Each structure stands twice: as structure tokens, then as C-alpha cells.
């Protein structure tokens, strides 16, 4: 039985059963074929264009040439902490090498909080369409969950097309106690995850030292281990076992999200509190280096697309970047909260470049499916593929004129120069990247024209789908 109003399965709402460490969930066999879902309000032009472009592109990659994917998503990392983006107080040499070998995008938007960004990324749909306009920590606060009956996760069409799929790291958009088969239903063949802070499970908050981890259904405290090492080693083993390909390996990092912690690389540090964030970012860079090194050792580097990104800005920490003092903007729709790094490499296929194309996280799903030569799901997508940019196929590329972000009822939209807030504020991001000078009352012709153009975009978007959140962050 389903809730007719929200179309959530009845099993999404019962009180969670608390299982002890060592409990094992059975794997549920689920058909890999993506379910076609309908839509409520839709932005017809954007959706039709996305589907037509992806359908046309889905046949250009021969099955034998389908690449593997290693997708690395940092948690709470602002781009001001990466030296390849101009950080003046943090060195990230491995990520820098990744950027130098591939495409580094300059104008990329996520949302300012974890779960809205992840839903947008995994579905190709904006928060107003999925209903995830706020952050909901499902294992802690309860439903709604990431519902496979409403949304099609990125890996479902990949698995249906023959990809082996795995996730390691953070997953908190389902309660894996009440939905033990959730990851399978979303399309992951294998998993090794920190399931999130589970109410009633005192071991579950720990993601770093002695982490609470669920691996292919088995739940346990990994004593003497460091969570990121557990997740990284799992993915390396997965890639080795599936080196004949194709595979999609998703590393949903727990770093550098608070609580602030030491790492195995700085156990002797005297730093504490926010000062530990430097070492956490250093460990992200170390992990990226180890993963890329493993691809080379397995002779997979030339047939693997590596994507590095972050879900939202840093948690209120100051870092100097390109001559500016940037304060991390997690939870805010400022540039410090939603302007995120995005680096994509594929040796021998993607030429190194720095691009100023407009990209947002709704574009991740259509891009991955495009590059994989896989048909998109037949529901409404807001994203469009930037695969042609990566592969030099500009004849089939339709550049975006705007990108979008949202938190709660607040919405923002931007072009390459101007950013308009739904409350009327307008900023020239080229001249004022810290958004200190509101042009709302300005009379310059360029800003007036930008306001009209961007306001028409906001006016064209549908209202929010409403989900029954009982507790959330962001409204």
C-alpha cells in the first residue's frame, strides 16, 4: 500500500528496527530495468531538449568502448581549499594533477547542503521537482526517504546496460534498517557505507576512527580502522574484481565533514577543532592519489573516467583564494555555499582544458549516461549533458544559458556574469564574487537586462513538490 498523496511506499514510515552490530541483511533481487515514472509540473522545453540530445547520443559509444567511471564526491569541501582553484593556504597536489590532466570547470553549482545536492546529482532533477528542497538526515529523523518508486537513481540505467556498480562512503538518504534493500533497489550491486547517524544506534555516529560500516548487508564497528581507508580499500578491491569492465564506482566521501578529526597522516598533530580541517583536506588529496595510482596499477587508467566534485561549501571556515578571503558557506546560497569544484579526466580521450561553461549538479546524470552510451530514464530531467564538451563534440552541444540552485523556498539563478536571488537581490559575480554589492536598485542597462532575463527563468519554473518532512535543515 502506498501513500497516495506522496507516492511513498508504506514501508518508508514504520519505526526503525534497531539491529545490533554483526547483523546481516539478505540481498534482495531487484530487476535492473529502470522504472518509468511520470511527472507533475515540468519545464517542458528543457526536459524535451535533454531527452532528445541524450537519445541521439546514446548510440555513439560502441559497447566495447564503454568506459569505466570512478566518481569521487567530497563532503563539505569548498573550492577555495583546492590549490588548482587558487587556494593560497592549502596544497592539493594529487587533485591538481588530476585537474591538469583533464577538464576543470569554473562555473559549477550544487545546493548548499548534503542531501538536496545528492538527490539532484543522482536523479538529474532539481529540488523543486523531487521535493528534496531541504536536508533530511533520514536514519536520524525519519522519512521521507529516497524513494525508488518516485525517482530513478543514476546507477539503475547503468546496471541495466551491463555496468557493475558499487558505492562506498556516505549514504544517509534511506534508513538501511527499515529499507535493507534500498541500495540494491537504487541500482548498486555492492556497497560499503557509513549509513548515517541512526537514532537508537549508539555506534552509528562514528564515521572516522572505529567507524560503523555496512558492507553488502553486514553491519559492524570496524575497530582499529579509519573509515576513509575502509571505503577506499573496498572500492579498489571492487575495481580489481571488475577490471574487465565496465564498472561505475561511486566514492561518496565522508571527509572533510565535521566532526573535526585527526587522520592516519597527522596523528601526532597538536592541532584541534577547526585547525584539523587542513589535515582532513590533505587526506582527501591523499585518497585521490591512491585511487588514481590503483587505476594505473590495474591498467585501467586509460579506460576510466574520473570525476571529482564536492556537494557543498565548507562549514564556515576562512580560506584565502585568488586574493580574496572566502568564508565557507555551507547552508547558504551564497557562492561560498554552492559554487563547487568539478574535474573530469579520461586519459587519451579528454583533452586538458579549463572551461567556463555553466554546469550544475543536475547535469551529472545525463553526462555520465551520455559518455557511457546509455539511454536516459524516460522521466523529466532538468540536466543536460556536457559530455560533448569533454569529448570535443561541439556540434552536438547546446550550452546552458543559466544554472539554478535552491534551499527551502529560496531560489537563485545565474548566467556567466549575473546572479539573481528570488528575493530580488542581483549581483555581478565577475566584479563582485563575494556578493557584497546588491544591484537591485541599480539602473545600468546591462544589469537591468540581466534582471529581466533571469527573472523570466525563475518565473518559468514550477512550484515545489511537497514532501512530508518532519524535521529538516534549510527552510
Strands 342-345 and 103-109: antiparallel
CB proximity list for 200: less than 8 A, separation 6 or greater: 16, 18
pLDDT tens digits for 89-131?
A: 999 999 999 999 999 999 999 999 999 999 999 999 999 999 9
pLDDT at 32: 39
Considering the domain boundaries, does residue 445 fall inside one? no
**Residue 206 pLDDT greater than 50, yes or no:** yes
- Cα separation, 372 vs 270, in Å, equals 46
For 214, 362, 418, 431, 435, the CA distances from 428, given in Å and listed in that order, are 46, 24, 5, 6, 8
Give the mean pLDDT of 223-241: 98
pLDDT at 276: 98
Question: Which one, of 11, 39, 111, 82, lies nearest residue 474 by Cα?
Answer: 111
Question: Which one, of 119, 115, 117, 118, lies nearest residue 136 by Cα?
Answer: 115
pLDDT tens digits for 372-411?
A: 999 999 889 999 999 999 999 988 898 999 999 999 999 9
CB proximity list for 351: less than 8 A, separation 6 or greater: 103, 392
Q: Quickly state the pLDDT bin for 57 (edges 50, 70, 90).
A: very low
Q: Quickly state the pLDDT bin for 64 (edges 50, 70, 90).
A: low
For 153, 166, 247, 287, 456, the CA distances from 242, given in Å and listed in that order, are 21, 11, 7, 20, 48
Q: Quickly state the pLDDT bin for 273 (edges 50, 70, 90).
A: very high
Place of cell 588529496: 285
Cis peptide before 34, with omega less than 30 degrees from 0? no
Place of cell 587508467: 301
Total domains in the chain come to 1
| Nine-digit cell string for 227 | 573509515
> Percentage helix, strand, coil, to 5, in the chain?
30, 20, 50
Rounded percentage of the chain residues whose pLDDT exceeds 90: 82
Considering the domain boundaries, does residue 59 fall inside one? yes
Considering the domain boundaries, does residue 444 fall inside one? no
pLDDT at 53: 47
Considering the domain boundaries, does residue 425 fall inside one? no
| Nine-digit cell string for 470 | 518532519
The domain spanning residue 51 has which CATH number? 3.40.720.10
- Cα separation, 418 vs 447, in Å, equals 8
Considering the domain boundaries, does residue 253 fall inside one? yes
pLDDT tens digits for 415-455?
A: 999 999 999 999 999 999 999 999 998 889 999 999 999 99
Where do the DSSP E strands lie in 253-369? 304-310, 318-321, 324-327, 342-345, 353-360
Cis peptide before 377, with omega less than 30 degrees from 0? no
**Residue 6 pLDDT greater than 60, yes or no:** no
Give the mean pLDDT of 147-165: 97
| Nine-digit cell string for 35 | 522504472
Considering the domain boundaries, does residue 33 fall inside one? no
For 164, 179, 212, the CA distances from 196, given in Å and listed in that order, are 24, 13, 9
Reported pTM:
0.89
- What residue numbers bound the domain in which 225 lies? 41-410
CB 254 within 8 A of CB 227: yes
For 157, 165, 167, 467, the CA distances from 245, given in Å and listed in that order, are 16, 10, 16, 38
Considering the domain boundaries, does residue 420 fall inside one? no
pLDDT at 16: 37
Considering the domain boundaries, does residue 434 fall inside one? no
Amino acid at each position: 500500500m502506498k501513500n497516495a498523496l506522496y507516492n511513498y511506499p508504506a514501508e518508508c514510515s514504520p519505526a526503525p528496527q534497531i539491529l545490533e552490530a554483526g547483523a546481516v541483511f539478505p540481498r534482495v533481487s531487484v530487476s535492473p530495468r529502470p522504472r518509468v515514472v511520470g511527472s507533475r509540473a515540468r519545464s517542458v522545453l528543457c526536459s524535451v531538449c535533454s531527452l532528445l540530445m541524450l537519445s541521439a547520443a546514446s548510440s555513439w559509444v560502441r559497447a566495447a568502448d564503454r568506459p569505466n567511471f570512478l566518481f569521487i564526491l567530497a563532503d563539505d569541501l569548498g573550492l577555495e581549499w583546492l590549490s588548482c582553484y587558487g587556494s593560497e593556504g592549502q596544497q592539493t597536489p594529487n587533485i591538481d594533477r588530476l585537474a591538469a590532466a583533464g577538464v576543470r570547470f569554473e562555473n559549477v553549482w550544487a545546493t548548499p547542503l548534503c542531501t538536496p545536492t545528492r538527490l539532484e546529482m543522482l536523479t538529474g532533477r532539481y529540488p523543486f521537482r523531487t521535493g528534496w528542497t531541504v536536508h533530511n538526515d533520514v536514519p536520524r529523523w525519519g522519512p521521507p526517504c529516497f524513494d525508488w518508486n518516485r525517482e530513478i537513481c543514476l546507477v539503475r540505467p547503468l546496471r541495466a546496460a551491463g555496468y557493475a556498480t558499487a558505492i562506498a562512503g556516505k549514504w544517509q538518504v534511506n534508513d538501511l534498517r527499515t529499507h535493507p534493500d534500498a541500495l540494491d533497489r537504487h541500482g548498486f550491486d555492492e556497497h560499503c557505507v557509513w549509513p548515517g547517524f541512526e537514532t537508537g544506534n549508539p555506534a552509528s555516529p562514528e564515521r572516522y576512527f572505529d567507524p560503523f560500516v555496512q558492507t553488502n548487508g553486514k553491519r559492524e564497528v570496524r575497530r582499529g580502522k579509519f573509515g576513509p581507508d575502509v571505503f577506499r580499500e573496498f572500492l579498489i578491491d571492487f575495481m580489481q574484481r571488475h577490471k574487465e569492465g565496465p564498472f561505475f564506482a561511486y566514492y561518496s566521501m565522508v571527509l572533510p565533514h565535521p566532526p573535526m578529526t585527526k587522520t592516519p597522516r597527522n596523528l601526532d598533530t597538536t592541532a584541534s577543532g577547526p585547525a584539523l580541517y587542513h589535515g582532513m583536506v590533505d587526506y582527501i588529496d591523499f585518497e585521490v592519489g591512491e585511487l588514481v595510482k590503483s587505476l594505473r596499477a590495474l591498467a585501467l587508467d586509460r579506460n576510466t573516467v574520473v570525476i571529482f566534485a564536492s556537494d557543498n561549501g565548507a562549514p564556515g571556515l576562512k580560506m584565502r583564494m585568488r586574493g580574496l578571503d572566502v568564508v565557507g558557506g555551507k547552508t547558504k546560497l551564497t557562492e561560498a555555499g554552492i559554487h563547487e569544484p568539478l574535474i573530469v579526466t579520461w586519459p587519451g580521450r579528454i583533452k586538458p582544458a579549463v572551461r567556463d561553461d555553466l554546469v550544475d549538479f543536475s547535469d551529472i546524470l545525463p553526462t555520465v549516461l551520455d559518455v557511457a552510451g546509455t539511454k536516459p530514464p524516460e522521466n523529466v530531467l532538468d540536466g543536460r549533458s556536457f559530455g560533448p564538451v569533454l569529448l570535443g563534440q561541439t556540434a552536438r552541444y547546446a550550452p546552458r544559458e543559466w544554472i539554478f540552485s535552491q534551499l527551502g523556498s529560496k531560489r537563485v539563478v545565474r548566467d556567466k556574469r549575473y546572479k539573481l536571488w528570488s528575493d530580488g537581490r542581483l549581483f555581478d559575480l565577475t566584479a563582485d564574487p563575494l556578493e557584497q554589492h546588491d544591484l537591485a536598485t541599480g539602473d545600468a542597462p546591462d544589469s537591468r537586462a540581466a534582471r529581466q532575463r533571469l527573472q523570466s527563468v525563475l518565473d518559468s519554473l514550477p512550484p515545489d513538490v511537497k514532501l512530508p518532512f518532519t524535521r529538516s535543515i534549510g527552510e
